[in-house]
Amino acid sequence: SFQDDTALSTTMAAYGVPPALGVAPEMMEEISTGTTIMACQYDGGVVLGADSRTSTGTYVANRASDKITMVTDNVWMCRSGSAADTQNVCAYVKNLTEEHNMQRRGDLDPGMADVKLVANLTMQLAYKNKDKLSAGMIIGGWDATLGAQVYGIPLGGSMQRVPFTVGGSGSAYIYGWCDNTWRENMTREEAEGWVARAISLAIARDASSGGVVRLVTIHSKGSSRQMLEPKHQSLCESELPVIPRKVGGVVG
Amino acid sequence: DRHAGMAGTGLAPDARQIVSRARSECAQYLSFYGDRIPAQILADRMAHYMHLFTLYWSVRPFGASSLMAVKDEHDGYALYLLEPSGECQRYHGAAIGKGRQAAKNEIEKLDLGNLSAAEAVRHVARIVYATHDEKDKEFECELSWICDASGGEFKRVPKHVVDEAVEAAKAALESDDEMDA
């Protein structure tokens, strides 16, 4: 009763388990970024946020992964779904964007690209390979033409410009909260706080999300990254505060 | 695409082929990159296309030059001159065709940086009429523009503006003739 023989043999072979063992496919999962990612526009830029847990089934493959990848200085991409798929899509998009930039801008602003362009390229890749890919992405950035922009490109390869969006498995738990607390034209600090809180809430309830909260803020002057460790994340209902751990005899 | 237009001289079918290719390039760019093709990239692609025909023995170079006007988000309004050799250069003012030398001289006298679109239309009409060789047959002056007044789209200049410009051009021609006589 194997649903997909090829998927089975790839995942099994990856773990060195011969297919003949007949283990059901559901027992072995591909490496996936079971995730919470989000991006939102604020007055003057965008904030992208993500958790940092990469899981293969119940095993946490990486507890400090970086799901927000730079495409150009002013455009970053949040990745969710299959880690392999999104990493490769991102590499293609980076390459195509650079090629386009060479023709388009030459020596002006070599590090900058139109956010809409990056989003369209990602959408084309996602849509044309929709039967093979399992990748949900969020593109966020700032450019001089249209200012701060956020584009959501979910599983099927559709693209939509939005003021804010969430993605990944953890997003399901925070849709309502985000819709309720979202405000237009927040300041940078408010937006960063809002995104961090949303991701903390998702981490609290989603088993596939966890670790640190990573934030990237992009505005007209550039971009900056932050990381919020669990002890700095806001607490949710009935959670205990994080106990500082002793690291080599020194309290962390 | 809406934001770009062309005018050609020389062999009409060749000019039409160039326009057709430019349209395909615009459509392809739109379908892949999701946005209107920037001026520089369209010019580059057209130059490559025309150059192609100078590389192989099995084809002949185009027998037509063209002027391409494009509106671009970053560069604003751009004018490109496309030649059969594959050269494609951006200009403030350009002329092609039989009377181009005389037309270029006239254009050089203009202060192109400070002309409005409406003034430019009048100058263009005047120059076309002035440089038209009297030995040739009668002609129709067709004017198209792409400017803020046209909403950033390549369109025929509205009839009343054309009529006014053509009247002024004819009057200028007559007064020149009077002076000559």
Question: Which tens digits make up the pLDDT trace of B122-145?
Answer: 888 888 888 887 766 788 888 899
Residue type, B6: M
Contact flag B40-A119 (C-beta cutoff 8 Å): no
pLDDT of residue A248: 63
Q: Is the pLDDT of residue A4 over 80?
A: no
pLDDT of residue A133: 92
- Interface check A119 vs B, CB under 8 A: yes
Question: Which tens digits make up the pLDDT trace of A217-244?
Answer: 999 998 999 888 877 777 766 677 766 6
Q: Is the pLDDT of residue A178 over 90?
A: yes
The label of the residue with tokens 């009048």 reads: B122
- Interface check A100 vs B, CB under 8 A: yes
Beta bridge partners of B81: B67, B89
Find the mean pLDDT for residues A4-20. Answer: 45
More confident residue, A21 or A63: A63
Are A49 and A214 in contact, with CB atoms under 8 Å apart?
yes
Q: Which of A11, A33, A35, A122 is catalytic?
A: A35
Contact flag B41-A103 (C-beta cutoff 8 Å): yes
pLDDT of residue B35: 87
pLDDT of residue A157: 93
The label of the residue with tokens 């819709």 reads: A179
- Interface check B32 vs A, CB under 8 A: yes
pLDDT of residue A24: 46
- Interface check A103 vs B, CB under 8 A: yes
A187: annotated active-site residue: no
Contact flag B33-A119 (C-beta cutoff 8 Å): no
- Token code pair at residue A38: 């989000």
Q: How many helices (H) and strands (E) does chain B have?
A: 5, 6
Query: What angle (nearest 5°) sits at the alpha carbon of residue A130, between those of residues A125 and A136?
Result: 75
Residue B34 is nearest to which of A104, A116, A145, comparing CB atoms? Answer: A116
Mean pLDDT of chain A: 83
More confident residue, B116 or A194: A194
Quick one: pLDDT band at residue A20, thresholds 50, 70, 90?
A: very low
Cα–Cα distance between B169 and B164 in angstroms, integer? Answer: 9
Quick one: pLDDT band at residue A247, thresholds 50, 70, 90?
A: low
Find the mean pLDDT for residues B57-80. Answer: 90
Specify the DSSP class assigned to residue A162.
Answer: -
Quick one: pLDDT band at residue A103, thresholds 50, 70, 90?
A: confident
Find the mean pLDDT for residues A108-115. Answer: 80
Q: Which stretches within A135-243 are classed as H helix?
A: 175-181, 188-205
The residue of chain B nearest to residue A103, with distances taken between CA atoms, is B41
pLDDT of residue A22: 45
Distances (CA, A) of A166 to A26, A180, A195, A199, B144: 26, 14, 10, 9, 47
* Least confident residue range of A132-141, A142-151, B161-170: B161-170
Q: Is the pLDDT of residue A118 over 50?
A: yes
pLDDT of residue B177: 67
pTM summary value: 0.79
- Interface check A116 vs B, CB under 8 A: yes
- Interface check B152 vs A, CB under 8 A: no
Contact flag A145-B35 (C-beta cutoff 8 Å): no
The sign of the CA dihedral A171, A209, A84, A26 is negative
Contact flag A117-B35 (C-beta cutoff 8 Å): yes
Residue B38 is nearest to which of A104, A116, A124, comparing CB atoms? Answer: A104
Question: Which tens digits make up the pLDDT trace of B18-61?
Answer: 999 999 999 999 989 888 999 989 999 999 999 999 999 999 99
- Interface check B93 vs A, CB under 8 A: no
Are A222 and A73 in contact, with CB atoms under 8 Å apart?
yes
Cα–Cα distance between B137 and B163 in angstroms, integer? Answer: 20
Q: Is the pLDDT of residue A246 over 80?
A: no
* CB pairs < 8 Å spanning A and B: 26
Find the mean pLDDT for residues A136-147. Answer: 93
Quick one: pLDDT band at residue B178, thresholds 50, 70, 90?
A: low
Residue B34 is nearest to which of A104, A120, A145, comparing CB atoms? Answer: A120
Determine whether A59 is exposed, middle or buried from the number of CB atoms within 10 Å of its CB (0-12, 13-18, 19+): exposed
- Token code pair at residue B172: 């200028």
Contact flag A120-B40 (C-beta cutoff 8 Å): no
Most confident of B44-53, B67-76, B91-100, B168-177: B44-53
Testing the interface with A: which of B74, B88, B90 to mutate, by most A Cβ within 10 A? B74
